[in-house]
Amino acid sequence: MTKQYKSIQTKLIHAGEPRPLIQGAVSMPIFQSSTFEYSGQDSYHDLRYIRLNNTPNHIALHEKLAALENAEAALVTASGMGAISTTLLTFLFPGDHLLAQECLYGGTHEIIAKDFSAMGISYNFVKGDDPDSWKRKLRPRTRAIYVESMTNPLLQVADLKAVVEFAKVNGLISMIDNTFASPVNFRPAEWGFDLSLHSCTKYLNGHSDIVAGAVIGRSDLIEDIRRKLNHFGASLDPHACFLLHRGVKTLSLRMKYQNESALEIAKYLEEHSSVEKVNYPGLENHSGYQRACELFDGFGGMLSFELKGGVKAAERFMQKVTLPIVAPSLGGVESLITRPATTSHSGMSPDEREALGISDSLIRVSVGIEDTEDLIADFDQALK
């Protein structure tokens, strides 16, 4: 069904689309049917049923998402956390051990730090740029190493090539949350990662109107995850499948624009006399710059910065901007702005945040697709 299109922009439109078209429909119809006529399947996992994630809406998305990252297979889920928790619990059993990058997405950090012990799973958080320290934390039952393509909110880039190498040498499954980069900027399978995870709520859908997730990667591992997902029930509803399918078609257009816009805004902020520090991997003085240049096709639409004048100045700035909406989440067409200390990282103590370099005055921006000059003009008036 899927031809080998080379460009991601063409894959976004054509990969996974049913051929022949269903009743000639140019847009994938919604199959709003919980169950489907029995057609001789032997296994429970092959019956067609929405929770088994195998209706036509799921199948089209699975093919499209796998094609985007040049991977073997993909699976959509009810949320990003549905993909992450199901993946971790497919491969980690009581007595097993996980190596995970410190400073993970809040929900992922919580499942590891708060829920694992009751399941008898142990873990160590490690620095993404210090492979020697990973080796020291390795245990006989270490099963996997888990990282993110860019950390939130400082946009640090781990030594991702070393992660893949370390996993291969030590027989671990390499897992990466690729939400922040999106398949336009980074395709983990091309660098040897076993599994790539996404909150499709963010860039893949891009319109801040659904919650969805995906896991993309090696087909043998995806098959194991699929079976676990069938039991856990974190399958994606066909309506949400339809919206994700529609939203993802413009991913490349949106992401390329957001890459450019965020870079321009980062440069503007870096020059401004009221700004103390800007975190964006496209700035040459950012710690992740060299790695981002080597691994990524773009630096992404996320940036964070600190103002001179601390929390007070940050709060005033957030009240004064008119275009960005003060809200958590990211990756949509509208710019969003938050203070991580009060939102995504409020679960951590001030000391924990400080250890990770996240100050209480840090402001995070998800750059949308508004005109760059309009956004800069708005930031400019707010900074005055």
Ligand X SMILES: *Cc1c(COP(=O)(O)O)cnc(C)c1O
The residue from 202, 226, 254, 364 that is catalytic is: 202
Q: Is 48 in the site for ligand X (CB under 6 A)?
A: no
Q: Is 203 in the site for ligand X (CB under 6 A)?
A: no
The site map against ligand X for 115-144 (x = CB under 6 A) is ------------------------------
Q: Is 213 in the site for ligand X (CB under 6 A)?
A: yes
Q: Which stretch binds ligand X (CB under 6 A): 76-84, 230-238, 242-250, 373-381?
A: 76-84
What is the nearest approach in angstroms of ligand X to the Cβ of residue 383?
27
Among all residues, whose Cβ is closest to ligand X? Answer: 80
Active site residue 177: yes
Contact 328, 338 (CB under 8 A): yes
Cα–Cα distance, 38 to 30 (Å, whole number): 20
- The binder of ligand X chosen from 18, 29, 107, 192 (CB under 6 A): 107
Site size toward ligand X (CB under 6 A) is 15
What is the nearest approach in angstroms of ligand X to the Cβ of residue 59?
21
Nearer to ligand X, 48 or 245 (CB): 245
Active site residue 105: yes
Q: Is 155 in the site for ligand X (CB under 6 A)?
A: no
Cα–Cα distance, 247 to 203 (Å, whole number): 9
What is the nearest approach in angstroms of ligand X to the Cβ of residue 151?
9
Nearest to 148 by CA among 175, 113, 109, 184: 175
Cα–Cα distance, 196 to 211 (Å, whole number): 18
**DSSP label at residue 361:** T
Q: Is 81 in the site for ligand X (CB under 6 A)?
A: yes
Q: Please list every residue from 339 through 378 that binds ligand X, using CB under 6 A.
A: none
Active site residue 115: no
Q: Which stretch binds ligand X (CB under 6 A): 21-29, 78-86, 307-315, 372-380?
A: 78-86
- The binder of ligand X chosen from 158, 189, 211, 367 (CB under 6 A): 211
Nearer to ligand X, 213 or 340 (CB): 213
Active site residue 137: no
- The binder of ligand X chosen from 179, 205, 208, 261 (CB under 6 A): 179
Cα–Cα distance, 370 to 113 (Å, whole number): 38
Q: How far is CA 200 from the centre of its chain?
A: 7
Q: Is 281 in the site for ligand X (CB under 6 A)?
A: no
Cα–Cα distance, 22 to 29 (Å, whole number): 8
Task: Give the three-state DSSP class for 303.
Answer: strand
- The binder of ligand X chosen from 57, 79, 90, 279 (CB under 6 A): 79
What is the nearest approach in angstroms of ligand X to the Cβ of residue 126?
18
Cα–Cα distance, 355 to 384 (Å, whole number): 31
The burial of 124, by beta-carbon neighbours within 10 Å (0-12 exposed, 13-18 middle, 19 or more buried), is given as middle
- Backbone angle region of 332, left / alpha / beta, with phi > 0 → left and psi within -120 to 50 → alpha: beta
Q: How far is CA 275 from the centre of its chain?
A: 28
Cα–Cα distance, 375 to 364 (Å, whole number): 14
Contact 22, 29 (CB under 8 A): yes
Nearer to ligand X, 55 or 201 (CB): 201
Q: Is 202 in the site for ligand X (CB under 6 A)?
A: yes
Query: For 154-192, b where at least 16 C-beta lie within 10 A, e where not — what string?
Result: bbbbbbbeebbebbeeeebbbbbbbbbbbbbbbbbbeee
Q: Is 105 in the site for ligand X (CB under 6 A)?
A: yes
Q: Is 80 in the site for ligand X (CB under 6 A)?
A: yes
Q: Is 201 in the site for ligand X (CB under 6 A)?
A: yes
Q: Is 109 in the site for ligand X (CB under 6 A)?
A: no
The residue from 146, 177, 187, 203 that is catalytic is: 177
Backbone angles phi, psi at 276, to 5 degrees: -80, -45
Nearest to 96 by CA among 35, 172, 155: 172
Interface ranges with ligand X (CB under 6 A):
79-81, 105, 107, 148, 152, 177, 179-180, 199, 201-202, 211, 213
Q: Which residues are identified as catalytic?
A: 51, 105, 177, 202
